[in-house]
Structure formats: C-alpha cells, structure tokens
Amino acid sequence: MVVVMTPEATPADVEAVVNLVQSAGGQAFVSRGLTRTIVGLVGDVADFEALNLGSLAGVLQVIRVSVPFKLVSREHHAARSVIRVGGVPIGPGTLTVIAGPCAVESPEQTLQAAWMAKSAGASMLRGGAFKPRTSPYSYQGMGEDGLRILADVRSETGLPVVTEVIDPGHVDMVASYADMLQIGARNMQNFALLQAVGSAGKPVLLKRGFSATIEEWLSAAEYIAQRGNLDIVLCERGIRTFETATRNTLDISAVPVVQRLSHLPVIVDPSHSGGRRDLVLPLTRAAIAVGADGLIIDVHPAPKTALCDGDQALTETDIREISDMMASWPPLMGRMLAASPDEVGHVPAGV
C-alpha cells in the first residue's frame, strides 16, 4: 500500500501514519517530495485496511497496489488450471462448448435442445430450472421438476449438466442433480450463495456481474475458493454500458486480462452478451480468437415459442455453422474441441 499525504500535511501527520503502521506490525518508508510526501507500506494488506489510514489527518489518498484475492490469483499458482466436470475438461489445451436452452420447459424441448447442442460440438448441457428474472411477472422456471428433466436428458445423451442455483437454501438439492452449479450475473455478489456453493462439493460456473469490475469478479471467486472449492470456471457475459444497440457490451478484453491475473479457466457467453441471434456467430469466433477456454451458447429447438430469451437462441443453420467452426478454429489457437465423456448418445436423424 501507498499512502499519499496532502501538500499541507505536517511532519507530525506523517509520523502518525508511520507509527500506526508499525503498531500493526508493518513497515513504512517515507519519500519526501517537493510538494508531497508518500509513505510506502510493507506487510499484510488486510491488517493495513483495518487501520482506516484514509481517516488520518493529512492523508490525501491510500492506494492499494496488491490484488485482494489470493487463492484464485496466478501470483502463487502460475500454471493455468484445468477444471473437470463429469469428465469434461475446461482449461488450456481444449475448447469446451456448453450449450442448451435458457430455460428447461419440457422433457421433449430439453432433449431436442441437447441433441442440437451435441451437433454444435457441445460436450456439456446447460439449462435453467430456477430463473432469476427482472420482473416478477416473467417466467420463473420449473424448479426441481426441471432438474429431474436435466438429469434424464443427461442419462440419454451423456452430457454433464450445468444449471443455475439462486437460493443458498437450494444448493444441496440442486447439487444432487447437477454436475456443475451456475452462479448467475445478478448473484455474483450474493455472498451467502457464494459461500454455499463453495461448500457443495461441485464445480462452479461463476458469471461476471454485468457491472462488476474484474477485481470484484475475482474477489467473488475468492469467496468460493475460501470454502475449499477451487473448481471454478469464470464466464464473461457482457457488461452494462451506455450503448443500447446490444443488450450488454461483451468485454472481450476481459478474457486475456483475467487469464493473466488468475489461474482459473475463462469462457464466454456470446448469447447473453449481445442478446441478438445475429451476433452469436461473430462473437463466438471472436471469443475463440481472443483465447477463451470455452463457450456457453443458448440453443432452443423452437426459439419462437421459447419462454425465455428466444430472441437470441440459434436456428439449425446457425448450429451447422458452429459445428463447422469447431472443426477448423480451435486448432489455430492450439486447442482441441473437448469431447463429451460418453459418445453413446447418437444424434438421431432429422435433428
């Protein structure tokens, strides 16, 4: 940490800072300039933060120079991690596609969507049974019945399942069905939920809050890690900006930035970031090219009747394009398309 003194700070003010830091077991180095004095702090940042140095007389600014997360940081864990979900790897070396319907609506719709996902190259199935919706009058999901459908579709297709959990009280129940627990963007700072999934013994997909800085996102991951669960995959899904032409603004730069700061895998959601079907393919290509470890894509057998986010679900023509892309693009990035753990589920004719 660095403490910047105001131009009017007295020598006594500076000494007070130094003494307080030393009393907390830290070291303080004073640099006196022409108009300002700077105090560099060495020791445990968490201790220093409790000192409220910003409240002391003569202090202009306190600048933290180390990151507020440890377990998920690359500082002490340089190698990038590979997370395995039901046998499917996510991390460097592979490109993992997760696909499925935004919301589980029926066994038929979910199964059809799963076959579409598989055609597109997906090795995992996503589907929402509990839906966090802005309006209480929007469709809220099938609940546990939806989870049962997902489990059945997994048996039939061999695809491991990732599904969202929105209530700490549901975590154990959802974990009993799912292979991976998803924390949605609106719950990224729902700390009770983060702690609950940290203790649930299943990998976690942590979406970035639409207004979260990268630092806040990694701090949220740290909450999960702190409970002993380091099987975390981060998902960039667009941030809120002034631009209204797209639902959110995909922060494509976040992928390499996070990969430098953290050892955790980072995937991209090209469906929710743009919120428009015509953007899914270009954003999928951009995500692969920027170095993402995977993708999570909305597919629905009949987007026009989808109960949730039908505007962005892909058609079968799109699926074929994605399937072609998955054959040619990952090798350019030195990656292999991740295979599903069980290849018994053959795509039936007509899908």
Nearer to its own copies, 153 or 308 (CB): 308
Site residues for its own copies, window 50-69 (CB under 8 A)?
50, 52, 54-56, 60-61, 63, 65-66, 68-69
Q: Supply the DSSP symbol for 80.
A: P
Site residues for its own copies, window 188-247 (CB under 8 A)?
189-193, 209-211, 213-216, 219, 222-223, 226, 239-246
Q: Quick one: which of 79, 137, 344, 346 contacts its own copies (CB under 8 A)? A: 137
Site residues for its own copies, window 71-90 (CB under 8 A)?
75
Structure tokens at 194: 């983060």
Question: 3-state class of 348 per DSSP?
Answer: coil
Q: Supply the DSSP symbol for 340.
A: P
| Cα(20)–Cα(50) distance, integer angstroms | 11
The answer to whether 167 contacts its own copies (rule: CB under 8 A) is: yes
Q: How far is the CB of 158 from its own copies (least distance, A)?
A: 30
* Burial of 92 per CB tally in 10 Å (0-12, 13-18, 19+): middle
Q: Which stretch binds its own copies (CB under 8 A): 118-126, 143-151, 156-164, 300-308?
A: 300-308
Q: Which stretch binds its own copies (CB under 8 A): 104-112, 132-140, 151-159, 338-346?
A: 132-140
Nearer to its own copies, 22 or 241 (CB): 241
| Main-chain phi, psi angles of 209, to 5 degrees | -60, 145
Q: How far is the CB of 139 from its own copies (least distance, A)?
A: 7
The answer to whether 304 contacts its own copies (rule: CB under 8 A) is: yes
Which helix (H) or strand (E) is 16 found in, with range? helix 11-23
Give 133-188 as a DSSP string.
-SSTTS----THHHHHHHHHHHHHH---EEEE---GGGHHHHHHH-SEEEEPGGGT
Q: How far is the CB of 34 from its own copies (least distance, A)?
A: 7
Site for its own copies (CB under 8 A): how many residues? 103
Cα distances from 40 to residues 62, 108, 255, in angstroms, run 10, 63, 32
Q: Quick one: which of 21, 120, 125, 290 contacts its own copies (CB under 8 A)? A: 290
| Cα(97)–Cα(227) distance, integer angstroms | 28
The answer to whether 163 contacts its own copies (rule: CB under 8 A) is: no
Q: How far is the CB of 309 from its own copies (least distance, A)?
A: 9
The answer to whether 33 contacts its own copies (rule: CB under 8 A) is: yes
Q: How far is the CB of 291 from its own copies (least distance, A)?
A: 5
Q: How far is the CB of 57 from its own copies (least distance, A)?
A: 10
The answer to whether 332 contacts its own copies (rule: CB under 8 A) is: yes
Question: 3-state class of 210 per DSSP?
Answer: coil
Structure tokens at 351: 């899908």
CA neighbours closer than 13 Å in the CB half-sphere of residue 125? 36
Site residues for its own copies, window 87-126 (CB under 8 A)?
none
Mark residues 265-284: x for contact with its own copies by CB under 8 A, - for none. Answer: --------xx---xx--xx-
Total number of residues shown for the chain: 351
